[in-house]
Amino acid sequence: MKETNNSGFSDTLIFGSRPVLEALMAGRSIDKILVKKQHELPIVKEIKIKARDLGVYVQEVPAEKFSFLKNKNHQFVAAWLAEVDFHSVESLVPDLLAQGILPVLVILDRVTDVRNFGSIVRTAECLGGHAVVIPKKGSASVNSDAVKASAGALTRLPICRENNLRDTLQYLNDSGFTTIACTEKANRSVYETRLSKPLALLMGNEENGIATDLRKLCSIEIKIPMMGSTASLNVAVATGIALSAILSNHHS
């Protein structure tokens, strides 16, 4: 069954165990799946296994979280279809390199605000980025609000959704990328740094910044110098500043 979701978005919501499993089996691009905690029916276990194999996030929640589907035969299973098809870094990067393209990637560590996410995708596409990378868990939904915030760039720029950003960064390091952590903890200014492609810019969320284990995996750390008294920049604005400065200072 399909329904408009409780947030008023126009995204497609599928509910019921059989429709959700069929969507997974059909290869539909799914943003996330909601199931009741300790839901032990065999078909729900099958959904979880298939979702894990496909890299789809399954969130287990209390039964009352399904109140937005009141009077619907949801069987405590629901899924939101994503607005785009997802890619993987390990398949996209070799394709770009084979075309003679030195990729520029933006990696987002737990950026959950949909408008910020959409704005970052828009900026990355405008400035010549080749993909935005997000984690499967703890990232903004790739929904219609994100598409609107991106001014449609989400339909043009590949979005890679990865199980583990640590593995992604290690893969990029091993593939010859310059991996760059944008953090206030850095000593080097983004404006004074010459970088070579291919490169990947890692941005953290506004509450905690970049996770320490991810920051330590990066080749270098850079910061945006702050002149005013405001504590920090919005992550979408910071991404635009950093990406623009990096690309203007890069060398082949």
Identify the CATH number of the domain in which residue 146 sits.
3.40.1280.10
Range of the domain at 48: 2-81
**112 and 27 co-located in one domain:** no
Same domain, 68 and 105: no
| Residue 207 CB neighbours (<10 A) | 8
pLDDT, position 2: 45
Single out the residue in 81, 99, 130 at which a domain terminates: 81
- What's the structural domain count of the chain? 2
Q: Same structural domain for residues 144 and 55?
A: no
Task: Note whether 41 and 155 are same-domain residues.
Answer: no
**pLDDT band per the 50, 70, 90 thresholds, residue 227:** confident
> Based on the domain organization, do 232 and 132 belong to the same domain?
yes
- Per-residue pLDDT at 232 exceeds 90: no
Among 178, 174, 172, 167, residue whose Cα is nearest residue 213: 167
| Residue 80 pLDDT greater than 60, yes or no | yes
| Average pLDDT over every residue of 232-240 | 93
Q: Above 90 in pLDDT, residue 241?
A: yes
Residues 53 and 117 in one domain: no
Which residue, 53, 81, 109, sits at the end of a domain? 81
Q: Judge if 127 and 235 occupy the same domain.
A: yes
Sign of CA dihedral 115, 161, 186, 127: negative
How many Å apart are CA 145 and CA 31, to the nearest integer?
13
Asked if residues 159 and 142 have their Cβ atoms less than 8 Å apart, the reply is yes
Peptide bond just before 135 cis, omega within 30 deg: no
Instruction: Report the DSSP beta bridge partners of residue 57.
Output: 32
| 69 plus 93 within the same structural domain | no
> Whole-model pTM?
0.87
Mean pLDDT across 96-122: 96
- pLDDT surpassing 60 at residue 251: no
| Top-confidence residue, 4 or 18 | 18
Distance CA 195, CA 104 (A): 11
Per-residue pLDDT, averaged over 88-112, amounts to 96
Alpha-carbon dihedral sign for residues 159, 121, 118, 110: positive
Q: Are 238 and 101 in contact (CB under 8 A)?
A: no
* pLDDT exceeds cutoff 70 at 7: no
Mean pLDDT of 65-81: 91
> What percent of the chain shows pLDDT beyond 70?
94
**Are residues 91 and 55 part of one domain?**
no
pLDDT at position 173 over 60: yes
Whether residue 214 sits in one domain with residue 170: yes
Mean pLDDT score, 140-164:
92
Residues 225 and 110 in one domain: yes
Instruction: Band the pLDDT of 221: cuts 50, 70, 90.
Output: very high
Whether the predicted pLDDT of 118 surpasses 90: yes
The whole-number pLDDT of residue 242 equals: 96
Q: Is 96 exposed, middle or buried (0-12, 13-18, 19+ CB in 10 A)?
A: middle
Domain end point (choices 32, 63, 81)? 81
What is the rounded distance in angstroms from the CA atom of residue 119 to the CA atom of residue 126? 11
CB contact at 8 A, 155 and 84? yes
> Looking at the structure, do residues 158 and 232 belong to the same domain, yes or no?
yes
Residue 71's pLDDT band (cuts 50, 70, 90): confident
- CATH code of the domain covering residue 36: 3.30.1330.30
